[in-house]
């Protein structure tokens, strides 16, 4: 449970190797966060991440096996984590695959697999977390989506559509939890410089993991339901969503 000053003391990361999520935990560790659970598919790969968080001041870092592409296992994993760590303050849903649209065009099965990971996995794990947060009567589920979900571009339409679906799901889940003491915060980053995007040219208003992490923590502190990172993307996409499709195609092609 958050302390008397509202500071986060414990966090679960679904997608424990996510650079953004790890950055958020490091930012929280500057305050009072001393317990973190990293859930991911490759536990060996999570060991250096755990060491990094311990170095940042997180006293207890546990690793849990979690496969985002296996929705049938999510309820059990989430329930086991909450049994071992009652009263978690924050859960960060941060897994996903970017993929390559040209490859998806050639291989619809690969596209469907990405959809299962990015969207179906988010639904199954998000609902499992919501059950636990409702039961304990407090806590925030942070769902990292993307501005790519605001209007899917032709060159990443599968990824964009999964983020659109995840964003809509998270908003509805937040409404469903209203009055329970638990909440959902949707985070919509723009282009973030990470290992996943290292092969891409920076998009407009490109940002860093550290900047997004700071925005997420600030959002948690003020009880926000939606965080844009950077914030200036909000008015930009308010306009972009209204562009006639022929104009949108031209704009999107230049990005």
The model's confidence at residue 61, banded by pLDDT at 50, 70 and 90, is very high
How far separated are the first and last CA of the chain, in Å rounded? 43
Q: With pLDDT > 90 as the criterion, what percentage of the chain qualifies?
A: 85
The model's confidence at residue 196, banded by pLDDT at 50, 70 and 90, is low
Question: What's the rounded mean pLDDT across residues 94-112?
Answer: 96
Task: Map out the domains of the chain with their CATH numbers.
Answer: 10-253 (3.40.50.720)
Q: Average the pLDDT over each of 20-29, 99-108, 191-200, 203-212 and give the range with the smallest value.
A: 191-200
Question: What's the rounded mean pLDDT across residues 227-255?
Answer: 89
The model's confidence at residue 243, banded by pLDDT at 50, 70 and 90, is very high
The model's confidence at residue 195, banded by pLDDT at 50, 70 and 90, is low
pLDDT of 161 higher than 90: yes
Give the pLDDT of residue 203: 65
Mean pLDDT, the chain, whole residue set: 93
Q: Are 189 and 146 in contact (CB under 8 A)?
A: yes
pLDDT in tens, 134-147: 999 999 999 999 99
The model's confidence at residue 206, banded by pLDDT at 50, 70 and 90, is confident
pLDDT in tens, 213-239: 999 999 999 999 999 999 999 999 999
Give the pLDDT of residue 202: 60
The active-site residue, picked from 159, 169, 191, 228, is 159
SS3 per residue for the chain: CCCCCCCCCEEEEECCCCHHHHHHHHHHHCCCCCEEEEEECCHHHHHHHHHHHHHHCCCEEEEEECCCCCHHHHHHHHHHHHHHCCCCCEEEECCCCCCCHHHHHHCHHHHHHHHHHHHHHHHHHHHHHHHHHHHHCCEEEEEECCHHHCCCCHHHHHHHHHHHHHHHHHHHHHHHCCCCCEEEEEEEECCECCCCCCCCCCCCCCECHHHHHHHHHHHHHHCCCEEEECCCHHHHHHHHCCCCHHHHHHHHHCC
Q: Can you tell me the distance from the alpha carbon of 161 to that of 180, in angstroms, rounded to the nearest whole number?
A: 30
Examine the residue annotation and report whether 73 is marked as an active-site residue of this protein.
Answer: no
């Amino acid at each position: 449970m958050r302390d008397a000053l509202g500071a986060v003391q414990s966090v679960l990361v679904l997608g424990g190797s996510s650079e953004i999520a790890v950055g958020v935990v490091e930012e929280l560790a500057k305050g009072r966060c001393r317990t973190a659970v990293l859930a991911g598919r490759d536990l060996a790969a999570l060991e250096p991440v755990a060491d990094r968080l311990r170095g940042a001041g997180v006293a207890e870092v546990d690793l849990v096996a979690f496969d985002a592409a296996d929705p049938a296992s999510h309820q059990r994993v989430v329930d086991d984590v909450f049994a071992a760590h009652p009263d978690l303050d924050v859960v960060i849903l941060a897994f996903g695959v970017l993929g390559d649209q040209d490859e998806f065009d050639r291989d619809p099965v690969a596209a469907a697999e990405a959809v299962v990971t990015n969207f179906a996995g988010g639904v199954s794990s998000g609902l499992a977390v919501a059950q636990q947060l409702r039961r304990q009567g407090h806590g925030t589920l942070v769902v990292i989506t993307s501005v790519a979900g605001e209007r899917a571009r032709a060159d990443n339409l599968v990824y964009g559509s999964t983020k659109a679906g995840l964003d809509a799901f998270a908003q509805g889940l937040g409404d469903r939890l209203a009055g329970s003491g638990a909440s959902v915060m949707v985070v919509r980053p723009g282009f973030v410089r990470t290992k996943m995007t290292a092969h891409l040219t920076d998009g407009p208003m490109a940002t860093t993991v550290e900047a997004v992490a700071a925005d997420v923590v600030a959002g948690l502190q003020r009880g926000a339901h939606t965080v844009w990172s950077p914030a200036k993307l909000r008015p930009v996409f308010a306009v972009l969503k209204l562009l006639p499709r022929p104009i949108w195609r031209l704009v999107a092609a230049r990005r």
